[in-house]
Amino acid sequence: MTDFQKYLTKNFDNPAALTLDGYVASGGYVALKKALGMQPVEIIDLVKAANLRGRGGAGFPAGVKWGFLAKTDGPKYLCVNADEGEPGTFKDGPLMEYDPHQLIEGVAIACFALGIHSAYIYIRGEFYNSIRAVERAVQDCYKKGVLGKGVLGTSFALDIAVHPGAGAYICGEETGLLSSLEGKKGMPKLKPPFPAVKGLWGCPTIVNNVETLACVPHIINVGADAWNALGCEKNGGTKLYCVSGHVVKPGYYELPHSTTLRQLIYDVCGGTKPGRTLKAVVPGGSSSPILLPEEIDVRMDFDSLGKIGTMLGSAAVIVMDDSVSMVRALHNLLHFYSHESCGQCTPCREGTHWLHVILERIVNGQGKIEDLDRIQDICGNMVGNTICVLADAAVLPTQSYIKKFRPEFEQYIRAGKRVSLLGGLIETVPVGAH
């Protein structure tokens, strides 16, 4: 797997590519030049044929999404979702920090294909280095005619601006992102209308993830067949996988889309630490249902993981070894979701809060067996009853942790003691706890 040819990360060890000249020297902006000579519809068809699936989490075919953009003579926009925040995910930051021009080239090609003349890159506020790198690259592009009134000497005009976020997971949801970009609280909006019809400032808008757009220049360069050959059926190209938790070599890895979870954990990341065994794996960010060790012979593509009841999501693999208390792990995640719920939908605001409160009680040794059924009941009132999927994102892991580790939850409750997240140590209950 080590001799695999890199596309998305090929410039990560080439700091010269941070500058426009260096990026051009590495073969950059060839794809944009080629695209500017194509018919827009040809580009969209090519991206469709390449089976580029949205890398933000949903895995929706990018070319199909582009096809939904409403026809209008008025303004329309492309917004890049660079608000990376799904726990376990750390791929879009490096893509911007180490190769900002790759993203800009992808944005420019997408805008040309869609007849868009204005794009905003919404970058998570904490990503100072990414914001700096992309802003510098954008300025460089304006100075040298890659952006502005005539892109690369053509009559196509394109403006790109960087917009920083300010710390809110919910802004990674595309309509929440648009609310935030409009200068409001990052509250998601009811769909339909979808952003492609009514998005930023009420205008047709496409929202794409950083990695999705970073793939586009390579698709133009190698063609749909070669891009498909890098992946597997209906999942074209290479994929950036993030691996964290209890493996020997955590990190982000660009690999064929056909890589299995076992290969990723054991061959690429060196497996669990010496003396430890695998207990559970989150395959696609904290919102994805958890997998057991016997379920990891699965291909890391959107469809294969979907078939076994979980999802690839943002391809963020969180590995847990046998030192982990699943009760404490779930408690940690529910703190996250209750903190990040934007609060506009009652089932999510109340549901995430009460799930966290119940887990807190269990963690502190004061849970009851009936709490496990109560949790199921709350979950049932959350899913599908809200504007966005944050509620579902809290429910899916909750249900899967309890389903797959129910005996451990029951044992924890019966023991009635506070046990540490790692190593099974008995802790004192903090003062002021329930």
Which positions touch another protein (CB under 8 A)? 75, 84-90, 92-93, 124-129, 132, 161, 163-169, 180-186, 201, 242-246, 250-252, 282, 286, 316, 318, 320, 324, 329, 332-333, 335-336, 339-340, 420-422
The Cα 251–Cα 145 span in angstroms is 36
Contact status, residue 199 vs residue 207, Cβ threshold 8 Å:
yes
Least distance to another protein, CB of residue 68, Å:
23
Per DSSP, 232 falls in state: B
Q: Which CB atom, from 82 or from 110, has the smaller least distance to another protein?
A: 82
Burial class (CB in 10 A: 0-12, 13-18, 19+), 143: exposed
CB neighbours (10 Å) of residue 27? 13
The Cα 330–Cα 421 span in angstroms is 10
Q: Which CB atom, from 99 or from 340, has the smaller least distance to another protein?
A: 340
Least distance to another protein, CB of residue 46, Å:
31
The Cα 393–Cα 289 span in angstroms is 9
Least distance to another protein, CB of residue 87, Å:
4
Q: Which CB atom, from 86 or from 99, has the smaller least distance to another protein?
A: 86
Q: Which CB atom, from 105 or from 321, has the smaller least distance to another protein?
A: 321
Residue 228, phi then psi, degrees to nearest 5:
-60, -40
Least distance to another protein, CB of residue 159, Å:
8
The Cα 333–Cα 26 span in angstroms is 41
Least distance to another protein, CB of residue 95, Å:
12
Q: How, if at all, do strands 238-245 and 251-256 pair?
A: antiparallel
Per DSSP, 308 falls in state: T
Q: Which CB atom, from 17 or from 247, has the smaller least distance to another protein?
A: 247
Q: Which CB atom, from 67 or from 75, has the smaller least distance to another protein?
A: 75
Least distance to another protein, CB of residue 418, Å:
13
